[in-house]
Structure 1
Amino acid sequence: MNAVDTPAIAGGAATPAPAGTPPLIVEHVAKSYDADGRIVPVIGDLSLTLDEGEIVAIVGPSGCGKTTLLNTLCGLIAADSGRIRWHGKPIAGQPSGVGYMLQKDLLLPWRTALRNVMLGLEIRGVSLSDAEERSHVVLDKLGLHGFAEHYPTTLSGGMRQRVALARTLVNDPDVLLLDEPFAALDFQTKLLIESDTAKLVRESRRSVLLITHDIEEAVSIADRVIVLSKRPTRVKTVYAIDLGTERTDMIAARESPGFTDYVRRIWADLDVTRQ
């Protein structure tokens, strides 16, 4: 299984850092690929932070290297230069306390919803009874009560994505890396799952780094939106989002007075003809 196909990374609890230390600090990271002897720069001198309890959305032109960035941050591929620190410590392999969720749900078709959610706990050696109990709790919180014994083929796309989210959350990560997890969903389902996700992560003070192509999604759910440039990607602009409304209600967020202005400004920044 290659890096981009990894359904989740979820280690044990992260080692506590000094109070006030952001869970993630990225300093001047760069990454290039060798394409048949030609060096192709993907990430160029990129820096960012993710604070405790913060949701940060990253948007950028298609192909600018957003997924490469996430894979680098979680240790699946190595940066060429720069520093990545998790909880104040330099990255060494795959960091603990981090859950990574992709656009594809990657559920195992021969396992029920419950057994898919339990997978990471089983790998970590958690007892069967404890794993089942914890998995049931997360499934119920995500609106899947009564569907634990259903197989993926009998679930809708939205339900499958909720199972994938439950599989990530059940390991109790303090940081979530989300790579367009709602992109394939219809609009109504997307809003519902976005709201459920925001509620769960904000209640537990988890930190989230979300990759998305959807500017409206970014503005409605995030505390900050980072706009990336085209390749070699760098941070072009950062927006602190203040909508003056409850940040777990995606409908209320999209109806707030400042919402459209943020969307228009970010859209203008993404105009690659100006870069």
Structure 2
Amino acid sequence: MASGPGKGGGAMPDAAIPVAPPLVVEHIAKSYVSGSKVTPVIGDLSFTLGRGEIISVVGPSGCGKSTLLNVICGLIRPDAGSIRYHGRDLKGQQSSMGYMLQKDLLLPWRSALANVMLGTEIRGVPRRRGEERARALLDQLGLDGFADNYPATLSGGMRQRVALARTLVNDPDVLLLDEPFAALDFQTKLLIEGDTVRLVRDGQRSVLLITHDIEEAVSIADRVLVLSQRPTRIKASYQVSLDCARDDMIAARQSRGFSDYVRRIWTDLDVVHA
């Protein structure tokens, strides 16, 4: 990137060049129309996702959390507002943005390795390079020796690890995660949460995680956004500070202050009266 002239005609140092955050959401609104009925889902919602930051989003059931992700990733258009991706207006889907759902959606006729490589094939990555990347991710996620297994022979946790590897294989800098751990048993959930956070933080990726699990939200994220009933808005925001390694999910839950965050967020959700 070229630098503008500085004092005395010299070049401006690179450190002085502002770097746009990966994702800026400004005054997004979205309603669904069915015949003459208009259902407002997202009211007026704004936030910024910084580089290397993990944000968890919690809110009452049906408040529009998944709709928010679908708007951000370009699957549906907002009625109002704007989204900037690295400083540019977001138009359509971005190949450098990863999206992972609760269901693994693995193709049953492809092996674990072939499922992970699907994204590299679509992007035209040379096969050898794509396979090396896919195998390395499977190994990092504890699936060494299972690359040739088909989805039907894998446990739920192993399938979700394959889905995570598939999401990461093209090295996205922003990850949108829609309750990816919700269907897992508690032990497997903690292990995969830890794997995900480690890989995300090591790669300085930015993450927006939708979850209904308040403890998961607090243990994983740098910041938790609490959404209101629809038409949804940001009701509260918490900067999370825990005195432990942030990829250790057990230590996070045992950390000083953890229970206080959970109680306060629970109160903000007002689930009893939702």
TM-score by length of 2: 0.92
* TM-superposition CA deviations, 1:93-143 (whole Å, max 9, x none): 112410000000000000000000000100111121111111000110111
Check if 1:203 corresponds to 2:210.
no
Q: How does 1:108-127 map to 2 (within 5 A)?
A: 108-127=107-126
Q: CA RMSD in A?
A: 1.1
- Corresponding letter in the other structure for 1:221: I
Shift of 1:214: 0.3
Q: Which residue does 1:270 correspond to in 2?
A: 269
8 A contact 1:230–1:272 mirrored in 2: no
Q: 2:144 maps to which residue?
A: 145
Partner of 1:248: 247
Find the structure with the greater CA-based Rg. 2
Q: Which amino acid aligns with 1:159?
A: M
- Counterpart in 2 of 1:261? 260
Report the secondary structure of 1:106's partner residue: coil
The 5 Å alignment of 1:21-100 reads 21-100=20-99
Work out the CA distance in 2 between the residues paired with 1:188 and 1:55.
Answer: 22
Unpaired runs of at least 5, structure 1: 1-17
Measured against aligned partners, the alpha-carbon deviations of 1:143-182 in whole angstroms (never above 9, x if no partner) come to 1000000000000000000000000000100010000000
Q: Counterpart of 1:14? A: none
Report the alpha carbon displacement of residue 257 of structure 1 after superposing the two structures with TM.
1.3
What's the counterpart of residue 15 of structure 1? none
Letter in 2 for 1:251: I
Q: Give 3-state SS (helix, strand or coil) of 2:252's partner.
A: helix
Equivalent position amino acid for 1:58 in 2: V
Q: Is the counterpart of residue 192 in structure 1 residue 225 in structure 2?
A: no
Q: Is the 8 A contact 1:86 1:95 kept in 2?
A: no
Distance 2:133 2:201 in 1: 19
Cα displacement string for residues 196-244 of structure 1 (whole angstroms, at most 9, x for unaligned residues): 1001110110000000000000000000000000110000000000112
String of CA shifts for 1:35-94, please: whole Å, max 9, x gaps: 232010000010011000000000000000100000000110000000110000111111
Mind listing any 5+ residue stretches in structure 2 that lack a counterpart?
1-16
Equivalent residue for 2:128? 129
AA at the equivalent of 2:172? P
Shift of 1:273: 5.5
**Pairwise mapping of residues 157-196 of structure 1 onto structure 2 (< 5 A)?**
157-196=156-195
1:22 Cα deviation after fit: 1.1
Identical positions, percent: 71
Compute the TM-score of the two structures, normalised by the length of structure 1: 0.92
Shift of 1:21: 1.6
Match of 1:12 in 2: none
Q: Secondary structure at the match of 1:95?
A: coil
Give 1:274 deviation, angstroms.
5.7
Runs of 4 or more, structure 1, over 6 Å off, are none
